[in-house]
Chains A and B, each alone.
Chain A
Amino acid sequence: MTDHDHDHSHDRHHDHSELSELELRVRALETILTEKGYVEPAALDAIIQAYETKIGPHNGAQVVAKAWTDPAFKKALLADASEAVGTLGHVGRTGDHLVAVENTPQRHNMVVCTLCSCYPWEMLGLPPVWYKAAPYRSRAVKDPRGVLADFGITLPEDMEIRVWDSTAETRFLVLPVRPAGTEGWSEQQLAALVTRDSMIGTGFPKTPGAPS
């Protein structure tokens, strides 16, 4: 358990008097909405639970692994990602307007939302804090190499970097390059190499044999 996890679980056991002002205000709003009959607290619980347990980067990883092993699926994914992902029953239903963009040895793709926090929720879950924060949103479009350096990544100097600013309801999923040394691997084995950041374009898939 990390220190953070510890703090988090500890917070849950604070008594009422120790709750932050903000937490009290949030609770008050939920009370009002519930008393007025607008929302059922159990429905809110179910939404939270879905994002905590069901919807996350493993969804996108399955799509990437499938594209790495099935050329027809890859072609369909790049042509219309919403439709292609919709054929994968095990991933669940995906909304419209998903666009998959392929990394190649010549081109690296990176996704940002400079105006807010648009992100392919169904594929990757809720976005991490850094994706929604000013340093990434401000700099990704102007100095993507500098941003990648913050993630410990250096690309070849002549590689094209394409930054996709998610300014409408289209959502972008980066299809990373399949790692070398994975010939003959199953989809399941490959999916375990696909990281969240590799599907945003701020990271690479894990390398076979490297410590996770």
Chain B
Amino acid sequence: MNGVHDMGGMDGFGKVEPEPNEPVFHETWEGRVMAMTRAMGAAGAFNIDVSRFYRESLKPTVYMTSSYYQKWFLALQDSLVARGYINDAEVKQGHAAAPAKDLKRGPFKLDDVQRVMTRGSFARTAQGPAKFKPGDRVRAKNINPVTHTRLPRYVRGHVGVIERLHGTHVFPDTAANDAGEHPQWLYTVVFDGAELWGADGDPTVKVSIDAFEPYLELV
């Protein structure tokens, strides 16, 4: 979706402000939100693409004015309500009222913690040969789905070069809609700064994205 989350190349947000000696969490509740999100994901309430899509789907004004973990909280709550794990009345009351819904991988317990500390693999068996090889010139397609995609707007329509092949991975565009993993070849595609930003762009800059095969066409 063409949301405000897709920020690459936007102007006007000001300087980057690193915080010296930044704590892992600024508030206790931030850690609880991070942990609840990890736990409910590991338990099978949603996959990572679904959780990203809920965050992207927050109203633009909310997205822009909420802190990072606020966005995580709002998206977590929205997704759990939408998927029937909790309901609005429970949220209002602050207590469980309706029966629990079965989680795909069962409740998240202390013994499950080690499992989420190692990142899962998104690699899957190839469904066919790769269409492109390193060195191929490809154009990022001009696609504008209203659903989740990982092709940022700033590269759409632009030509880059295939640099690396990462194997076949879960396709976020379908996984985010619970429409299946549909594994796709994944490539690093590198673009010249001038191709993306025009003649005034910094000529020493190259930018790469990791692009799934359906995002690309041979030039």
Q: Is B145 an interface residue (CB 8 A)?
A: no
Q: Is A104 an interface residue (CB 8 A)?
A: no
CB of A129, distance to nearest CB on chain B (Å): 6
Q: When each residue 7-34 of chain B gets 1 if its CB lies under 8 Å from chain A and 0 otherwise, what string results?
A: 1111101111111011111111101111
Q: Is A73 an interface residue (CB 8 A)?
A: no
Given contacts A38-B108, A128-B22, A139-B16, contact A115 B43 (CB under 8 A): no
Given contacts A8-B23, A137-B8, A145-B202, contact A43 B108 (CB under 8 A): yes
Q: Determine whether the beta carbon of A129 is less than 8 Å from that of B22.
A: yes
CB of B201, distance to nearest CB on chain A (Å): 8
Q: Determine whether the beta carbon of A163 is less than 8 Å from that of B207.
A: yes
Q: Determine the distance from Cα of A203 to Cα of B30 in the docked complex, in whole angstroms.
A: 27
Given contacts A22-B70, A43-B108, A164-B208, contact A142 B8 (CB under 8 A): yes
Partner of A138, one of B9, B40, B190: B9
Q: Determine the distance from Cα of A46 to Cα of B32 in the docked complex, in whole angstroms.
A: 11
Q: Is B64 an interface residue (CB 8 A)?
A: yes
Given contacts A44-B36, A150-B16, contact A122 B107 (CB under 8 A): no
Partner of B86, one of A2, A36, A97: A36
Q: How many A-B residue pairs have CB under 8 A?
A: 278
Q: Determine the distance from Cα of A33 to Cα of B196 in the docked complex, in whole angstroms.
A: 45
CB of B27, distance to nearest CB on chain A (Å): 7
CB of A152, distance to nearest CB on chain B (Å): 9
User: In chain B, what residue has the closest Cβ to A11?
Assistant: B27
Q: Is B219 an interface residue (CB 8 A)?
A: no
Q: Is A12 an interface residue (CB 8 A)?
A: yes
Q: Determine whether the beta carbon of A40 is less than 8 Å from that of B169.
A: no
Q: Determine the distance from Cα of A11 to Cα of B130 in the docked complex, in whole angstroms.
A: 54
Partner of B35, one of A23, A32, A44, A165: A44
Residues of A within 8 A of B169 (CB): 97, 168-169
How large, as a class, is the contact surface on chain A?
35 or more
Partner of A167, one of B15, B164, B209: B209
Q: Determine whether the beta carbon of A42 is less than 8 Å from that of B202.
A: no
Q: Determine the distance from Cα of A138 to Cα of B164 in the docked complex, in whole angstroms.
A: 25
Q: Is A162 an interface residue (CB 8 A)?
A: yes
Q: When each residue 136-161 of chain A gets 1 if its CB lies under 8 Å from chain B and 0 otherwise, what string results?
A: 11111111110100110000011111
User: In chain B, what residue has the closest Cβ to A54?
Assistant: B117
Q: Determine the distance from Cα of A96 to Cα of B95 in the docked complex, in whole angstroms.
A: 38
Residues of B within 8 A of A144 (CB): 202, 205
Q: Determine the distance from Cα of A191 to Cα of B130 in the docked complex, in whole angstroms.
A: 39
Partner of A134, one of B64, B166, B210: B64
Partner of A130, one of B18, B76, B120, B205: B18
CB of A15, distance to nearest CB on chain B (Å): 14
CB of B30, distance to nearest CB on chain A (Å): 9
Q: Determine whether the beta carbon of B119 is less than 8 Å from that of A94.
A: yes
Q: Determine the distance from Cα of A140 to Cα of B162 in the docked complex, in whole angstroms.
A: 21
Q: Determine whether the beta carbon of A121 is less than 8 Å from that of B119.
A: yes
Q: Determine whether the beta carbon of A47 is less than 8 Å from that of B204.
A: no
Can you add 8 more A-B contacts, CB < 8 Å, to A29-B76, A40-B108, A135-B16? A12-B28, A35-B95, A39-B107, A51-B34, A114-B154, A141-B9, A163-B205, A165-B207
Query: Which residues of A are interface residues toward B (Cβ below 8 A)?
Result: 2, 4-5, 8, 11-12, 22-33, 35-40, 42-48, 50-52, 55-56, 92-97, 99, 112, 114-117, 121-122, 125-126, 128-130, 132-145, 147, 150-151, 157-171, 197, 202
6 tightest CB-CB pairs across the interface, nearest first?
A: A95-B119, A114-B8, A28-B94, A35-B96, A168-B210, A44-B35
